[in-house]
Amino acid sequence: MAGGWSKDGAVQDQIDSTVEDAVQRSRHRLPSGESLSHCEECGDLIPQARRDAVPGVRLCIACQSERDRHERFDASGYNRRGSKDSQLR
């Protein structure tokens, strides 16, 4: 059901586009290439099991966990619909 001047399925199109954007961002963040034996940030040894499990790994588990925690707060979703105020102007 469309409302106003939007076409049928417009809301689902917005949802699909937001999900696709998130998938693309995640794919670009995946490491590639040869894994490092030592962490880029702290210099600690990266266990062989981690290097085998994550091809192209660059960080130890502790540094990766810290980075992931910060990125969770930095990565905000898109509000493609805008606010009600902007729609009324």
Closest residue by Cα to residue 60 from 80, 87, 41, 88: 41
Q: What is the pLDDT of residues 16-49, one digit of tens each?
A: 999 999 899 888 878 778 999 999 999 999 999 9
Residue 77 to residue 66: CA distance in whole angstroms = 21
- Domain-located, residue 82: no
The token duo for 61 is 């588990």
pLDDT reading at 89 higher than 60: no
- Domain-located, residue 16: no
Residue 22 to residue 64: CA distance in whole angstroms = 19
Tally of domains within the chain: 1
Closest residue by Cα to residue 10 from 76, 77, 78, 80: 80
Q: Structural domain of residue 37, as residue ranges?
A: 31-74
Q: What is the pLDDT of residue 77?
A: 54
3-class SS of residue 62:
helix
- Domain-located, residue 85: no
**pTM of the predicted protein model:** 0.54
